[in-house]
Structure 1
Amino acid sequence: MTASDLNLIKMSTDHYWIKRDSVVDKIIFKGRTFYNKFEKVNAILSQAVINQHIKGEITVAHSLINKHGKVENIVIDYNGNDPERFYHKTQLLLREEGFINFTAYKTRTEGHLHVYIHKGHTTLQEAIQLGKMISMKLAAKQPKQWRMFPNADMPDDYNILTLPMEVYSKERGASWSKHM
């Protein structure tokens, strides 16, 4: 994983989250209790921290929602057992819906993918609605084995994702897209 591969994500680097061995805090949100093992670090997410994550020394996550309440990426967190089939169907759907910039990354867990749809400066509410629409259309084609981020059913401190380990596939524009 290179720095340019991670730059595709356009993640907020003014802070990051580090996973601890025990529960850091308890969050009550919409009648549910969340136990957070990620601790927020109010420091710049540097290349040195990213390298520690890639080596497996620590687990680092980044926020999907920036300090202005905007979202740069809508993310599909696939946790199934057939990533090739999932990605094939997902890329076809995303192209059909006019999303021409997206990247799939492998995570530490074998067979799991994070598909970052590079939407750019989107309000949180719009990102949640687009995520629901994409999820609903994907669910019509295959069994649901993913979660969408950002998610309105979780507190902002849970709208985080661990940094990816390597690029699975990139899609950068296409002349045949219907929304160009």
Structure 2
Amino acid sequence: MVEKIEFRNRTFYAKFEKINQPLEKQIIKEHLNKKITIASPLIKDGYINNLLLIYKGDDGAKFYHIVKQLFTAIKIEKYYILKGKSEKHIQVFIPVHKMDLDEATKKLQVISRSLELKLPLEWQTLPNINLPIDYNIFTLPYEIYE
């Protein structure tokens, strides 16, 4: 049975089955072999420790280079660019320290507006204040994007 989530007069359905157990080597191996998909929450105890950009466009190389230039310009020094499930799926993680949802939203809006000047809108940002907490999740990446 799929979990139904009511949020701001909208209905969402859980994308993943919630399993409350530690990750084991075999589970991670199945994820890396793309037999299953593992997701993790971005919001824990009301705080965010990572901001996330998820790119799903046709020009990952261009996105990669523009993100690197933008982050240098706005002085974001620590970030990780990783591959998602497909070649068109790139995840950019920006570590932050115990940021609340409103502050995270503002920071992501600044980043997104800057990207919009250079690229068509083919990404999403998380966490997203317009989504329920259970939808502010990310799938574990598969490898480093280079």
Do the structures match in fold with TM over 0.5? yes
Q: Does 1:24 align with 2:2?
A: yes
Q: Helix, strand or coil: the match of 1:27?
A: strand
TM-score, normalised to structure 1, is 0.76
Structure 1 segment 1-180 matched on structure 2, within 5 A: 24-66=2-44, 68-169=45-146
How many residues were matched structurally? Answer: 146
- Provide Cα deviations, 1:33-59, integer angstroms capped at 9, x if missing partner: 212231211122334322221122211
The more displaced of 25-34 and 39-48 is 39-48
Displacement, 1:150?
Answer: 0.3
Higher RCO, Cα 8 Å, sep 6+: 2
In structure 1, what residue type is equivalent to 2:28? I
Displacement, 1:124?
Answer: 2.1
* Distance (Å, rounded) in 2 between the aligned partners of 1:120 and 1:50: 26
* Distance (Å, rounded) in 2 between the aligned partners of 1:121 and 1:60: 23
- Provide Cα deviations, 1:46-96, integer angstroms capped at 9, x if missing partner: 343222211222111011112x21111100000101000011111111111
Displacement, 1:119?
Answer: 2.0
Does the CA contact (< 8 Å) of 1:64 and 1:73 recur in 2? Answer: yes
Aligned residue for 1:11? none
Displacement, 1:100?
Answer: 0.2
The runs of at least 4 consecutive aligned structure 1 residues that moved more than 4 Å come to none
Which residues of structure 2 form unaligned runs of 5+? none
In structure 2, what residue type is equivalent to 1:61? A
Q: Helix, strand or coil: the match of 1:91?
A: helix
TM-score, normalised to structure 2, is 0.92
The percent of aligned pairs where both chains have the same amino acid is: 38
Which residues of structure 1 form unaligned runs of 5+? 1-22, 170-180
